[in-house]
Amino acid sequence: MTVGFLKKIKKLTFKEQGIFLTRASDMLSNGFTLLEVLQFFSKLDNKNYHLMASMIDDLKSGHKIHEVFLKHHFDQGACIQLYFSEKHGYLAEALLESGEYLQRKDEERKKFIKLMQYPLILIFILLFVAILLNTLLLPRFQYLYQSMGYEPTVGIKLVLHLMQNIPSYLLLLFILCSVLYFIVKQIFQKKSALEIASTLSSLPVISSFYKLYQTIFISREWGYLLRSGFSINEIINIMESQMYKPLLHESAQQLKKMLLIGHSFADALSNLSFIEREMIFIVNHGDKNGRMDKELLYYSNHCLQKLEEKTENIFLIIQPVIFSIIGIVIVVIYMSIFFPMFQMMDAI
């Protein structure tokens, strides 16, 4: 399959990827092979015929499953799950979880866009009103002040100053945010994946989401690998051998070093700052009762529920905060119009 032909193939959206993966999982659970699943979808959906045909050709050519999906622009997170499924054998489960993850991702993106639509429209309207006031009304107030010899109070001067310079302040804020983004990006490019993870895990708001996300992935994949009979050392070697997720690769190297110098697996795990501390207790408990695989899989689902709850709570907070900011801007606009008039009436 040539690169030119691949470029012509339409890339699936997150929602389309998620639906395809969950349906593929259902068919695998009912006895179909992955090749048969792709052949079925190539006949079912003419719109994505070339995509399915290309994936079928790659599978027949001997490419690994995760490589086929990655080559055809499926989400990298989903492809990493498929990589591990090739090791532990739970392909149907990996497809289902990847599909559900992508559908959640699409729903959250749509929910965020919907959440931001109305506030953004209000912000643009307010900016338009502020520009009109700045160009039409405020210059007349200033002319009126000068003609009457009136000196505005400090409060009025501050409000008028804010109104006159809102575009400049917004431009300055945009420039500062852009500069900060590029600085952070440059700093992160020089750091290792473990150092970046450590930094993200120490940030107040981001850390809880980041740790949960990483813990969900690691506990789930380790649970499946343990269920398939892999030892801890073999799992670490699998993590180290993959290069799709540098954080897993570097973490495996660190765990291996800690185990070689005599530390227990739980102690070695405690040095990974990007996982939830609860996972260490789960590993210890599971190691003692011989059910580490089951406990890790249950714990992964528990963390997933916590992450979904936290995401919902953030969505509930964002809109009121934005509306509060809009309210403050409206108050400033009204103050810039009416306060000078009241002050002048008092002065007459």
CB 103 within 8 A of CB 19: yes
Phi then psi dihedrals of residue 346, to 5 deg: -70, -30
Burial class of 214 by CB neighbour count within 10 A (0 to 12, 13 to 18, 19+): buried
For residue 150, the model assigns a pLDDT of 62
Quick: pLDDT tens for 17-52.
Answer: 999 999 999 999 999 999 999 999 988 877 888 899
Would you call 32 helix, strand, or coil by DSSP?
Answer: coil
Tell me the C-alpha distance between 183 and 296, whole Å.
38
Per-residue confidence at 152, pLDDT binned at 50, 70, 90?
A: low
Please count the other Cβ atoms lying within 10 Å of the Cβ belonging to residue 178.
Answer: 10
Q: Which amino acid is at 213?
A: Y
Indicate whether 76 pLDDT > 80: yes
Comparing 69-83, 120-134, 162-176, 200-214, the range with the smallest average pLDDT is 120-134
36-50, 143-157, 232-246: which range is least confident on average?
143-157
Task: Please tell me the distance from the alpha carbon of residue 292 to that of residue 226, in angstroms, as a whole number.
Answer: 8
Query: Cα–chain-centroid distance for residue 66?
Result: 21
The whole model's pTM is what? Answer: 0.72
Q: Which residue has the higher pLDDT, 177 or 243?
A: 177
Query: pLDDT tens digit string along 95-147?
Result: 998 898 899 888 888 887 877 777 778 777 777 777 777 777 777 766 766 66
Residues 6+ apart with CB under 8 A from 337: 133, 137
Interacting residues of 227 by C-beta distance below 8 A, sequence separation 6+: 88, 90, 293, 294, 297
Instruction: Report the amino acid identity of residue 310.
Output: K
The predicted pLDDT at position 148 comes to 64
Is residue 239 within 8 A of residue 248, CB to CB? The reply is yes
CA separation, residue 312 to residues 106, 114, 279 (Å): 14, 14, 23
Torsion-angle region of 62 (φ positive above 0: left; ψ -120 to 50: alpha; else: beta): left
Q: Is the pLDDT of residue 73 over 70?
A: yes
More confident position, 220 or 120 = 220
| Contact status, residue 295 vs residue 281, Cβ threshold 8 Å | no
- The pLDDT value recorded for residue 340 is 63
Amino acid at 184: V
CA distance 89 to 236: 17
Res 1: pLDDT = 45
Residues 275-323 have pLDDT tens digits of 998 998 998 888 888 888 899 999 999 998 899 888 888 878 877 887 7
